[in-house]
Amino acid sequence: MPSYTVTVATGSQWFAGTDDYIYLSLIGSAGCSEKHLLDKAFYNDFERGAVDSYDVTVDEELGEIYLVKIEKRKYWLHDDWYLKYITLKTPHGDYIEFPCYRWITGEGEIVLRDGRAKLARDDQIHILKQHRRKELEARQKQYRWMEWNPGFPLSIDAKCHKDLPRDIQFDSEKGVDFVLNYSKAMENLFINRFMHMFQSSWHDFADFEKIFVKISNTISERVKNHWQEDLMFGYQFLNGCNPVLIKRCTALPPKLPVTTEMVECSLERQLSLEQEVQEGNIFIVDYELLDGIDANKTDPCTHQFLAAPICLLYKNLSNKIVPIAIQLNQTPGESNPIFLPTDSKYDWLLAKIWVRSSDFHVHQTITHLLRTHLVSEVFGIAMYRQLPAVHPLFKLLVAHVRFTIAINTKAREQLICEYGLFDKANATGGGGHVQMVQRAVQDLTYSSLCFPEAIKARGMDSTEDIPFYFYRDDGLLVWEAIQSFTTEVVSIYYENDQVVEEDQELQDFVKDVYVYGMRGKKASGFPKSIKSREKLSEYLTVVIFTASAQHAAVNFGQYDWCSWIPNAPPTMRAPPPTAKGVVTIEQIVDTLPDRGRSCWHLGAVWALSQFQENELFLGMYPEEHFIEKPVKEAMIRFRKNLEAIVSVIAERNKNKKLPYYYLSPDRIPNSVAI
């Protein structure tokens, strides 16, 4: 009788093994096998990390094996089982791989296809077509869209982490418990003693050092020592946590009535301000989004305030960016003066602090939350709903949505919800952050997620004119490497544009993103369909770049740039000054966050800047969803390209007092997972 050798690999994560009964059935072109219990005498099967082999004898030849069915039945207590893959050695000596990388829960079952990636048009056999359709039907019931707040991109329909499908939950929920992580962070930073001192002001800037952790040669220490300098202030718009707002100023806006006389002391080329604008030496950052946003009122004992500044910057003769004028609110007038470097020291310093605080709010809520976390979740949900596991694009993208839906669900549960942790320290807590996202969604466009287009749209693309913009330089290298990889993968499975256009599963994926994620807004520029290989490659690059590089660029520098509280105040306890010449050092310290809020902020930026345990970095694909040689070779080339970029960035950073490494591929996780 024909005999098959079945090899079963169990995952190595916590609680991946099982003591339940595991049954296997083979479904082939010539018939189906009986259900076989996979069990070896006097042996503990399916332990965590184990690879177990079994001989399965069938009554008659099954022909070409189409599917493998695995059933799990209770032995004692229900336990989940993580199945990595199954390999089958046929009676003829052939090997067939069946990737799984999924949990089987309760008395569950799973039906696997072999690992060759197939488009729907490649499936001509009824049983395979049916398997494909049933998988998507089941997923669409599991992965439902939900509106968490009006105007937001839609998210997963789950109230809390444990409601999520098991396959997208964290291996250990404790690892992403924000309350636990923030408290641990404050313990690790030795700041617990200040934690409950809300409303208690610091005495002076030096007093903030009581909660500042000195780590030798770090960026955070350099920020602490130089944060008051105009050069450090300007540098952060290029290479800090939020390097996405600065634009080349092509015309001075009427709402910022700056004259040459006001700023001539800052202009080094003996040109008028208008001439400097024409020469391309003037830049602007406008926080108009914050205008009218409600400040946090959750603590009746502490008034909190927001501003909506406009900051004008100048490229000096050393090609460095420095601030030359700051207006703290949008409407010009006597009670909204334009602050200048020639003003008194504390007038100018407080104006810059207000800009840094506003930058922090836009960074956290828009650059970080909306434009990486929520956008990546949209791509992830659409992928699970519309692409079956056998689809090459599912195999390509699944690593780049790993834990994203889980981290966002946990954030909605603990962090950005009503009375959540976000309310504790942030002036935009208590609902202001929700208003900000609702506004910013109107400007969320597909082209703004295409890295080269976004850089160009802000007039920041010239490496000659703006030589120290490392976020741009490194980002372009990583974008090109990803695009080269996606182009290769697309060309393997789509021989021409027509195949792209006729791939209904792909079109449904893209449509889901547009209709549900972007709420069907034409102005978003998100495609409703994709009709060419080139556009498909670009789209996939957007998905992967947003989840990996863009998130890394705006997330992992948070401790570096925001741990020195005066450089990134999460809240301000007095309104912006309405006149010049009245600001004192005492007034600035009383405006900055109190001790308790400073500690919550520090715990947050520390926790958010840490990599996950067993982090997977860009180019790492330990789950072998693809089995085809051409794709594996493309992955090797991708990794080599990324390694070359790591070397380029390391060489550039040598001996730099302020190295820029957030976009070095060896520091870019594959997905948004923190």
Residue 338, helix vs strand vs coil: strand
Phi-psi region of 151 (alpha: psi -120 to 50; beta: other; left: phi over 0): left
Q: CA–CA separation, 211 vs 217, rounded Å?
A: 18
Phi, psi of 569 (to 5 degrees): -65, 125
Question: Is 551 labelled as part of a ligand binding site?
Answer: yes
Pairing of strands 51-57, 3-10: antiparallel
Give the 3-state secondary structure of 126-157: HHHHHHHHHHHHHHHHHCCEECCCCCCCCEEC
For residues 239 and 474, the answer to whether their CB atoms sit within 8 Å is no
Question: Is 601 labelled as part of a ligand binding site?
Answer: no
Question: Is 39 labelled as part of a ligand binding site?
Answer: yes
Residue 421, helix vs strand vs coil: coil
Phi, psi of 87 (to 5 degrees): -120, 150
Residue identified by tokens 């169990």 is 10
Using alpha carbons, list the distances in angstroms from residue 43 to 8, 19, 54, 374. 14, 11, 12, 46
Q: Which residues contact 330 (CB under 8 A, 6 or more apart)?
A: 255, 288, 291, 308, 310
Q: Which residues contact 328 (CB under 8 A, 6 or more apart)?
A: 307, 308, 309, 336, 339, 351, 354, 576, 577
Beta bridge partners of residue 666, listed in sequence order: none
Residue 319, helix vs strand vs coil: coil
In 123-150, which positions are buried (b, 16+ CB within 10 angstroms) versus exposed (e)? beeeebeebbeebbeebeeebebeebee
Residue 188, helix vs strand vs coil: helix
Q: Residue 532's closest CA among 510, 492, 499?
A: 499
- Nearest 5°: the CA angle 309, 315, 320 is 100
Residue identified by tokens 């079963």 is 8
Question: Is 17 labelled as part of a ligand binding site?
Answer: yes
Question: Is 114 labelled as part of a ligand binding site?
Answer: no
Q: Residue 148's closest CA among 415, 547, 512?
A: 415
Radius of gyration of the chain (CA): 28
Residue identified by tokens 């650059």 is 367
Q: Read off the tokens for 588.
A: 């600035």
Q: CA–CA separation, 279 vs 258, rounded Å?
A: 17
Residue 647 CA from chain centroid, whole number: 24
Q: Residue 131's closest CA among 471, 437, 390?
A: 390
Sign (positive/negative) of CA torsion 590, 594, 595, 598? negative
One-letter amino acid identity for 224?
Answer: K
For residues 505 and 122, the answer to whether their CB atoms sit within 8 Å is no
Beta bridge partners of residue 314, listed in sequence order: 282, 322
Q: CA–CA separation, 593 vs 597, rounded Å?
A: 6
Phi, psi of 131 (to 5 degrees): -60, -45
Question: Is 79 labelled as part of a ligand binding site?
Answer: yes
Residue 34, helix vs strand vs coil: coil
Q: CA–CA separation, 385 vs 508, rounded Å?
A: 9
Residue 569, helix vs strand vs coil: coil
Q: CA–CA separation, 468 vs 241, rounded Å?
A: 15
Q: Residue 289's closest CA among 436, 433, 442?
A: 436
Give binding residues for Fe cation as ranges: 368, 373, 551, 674
Give binding residues for Ca(2+) as ranges: 17, 39, 79-80
Give binding residues as ranges: 17, 39, 79-80, 368, 373, 551, 674
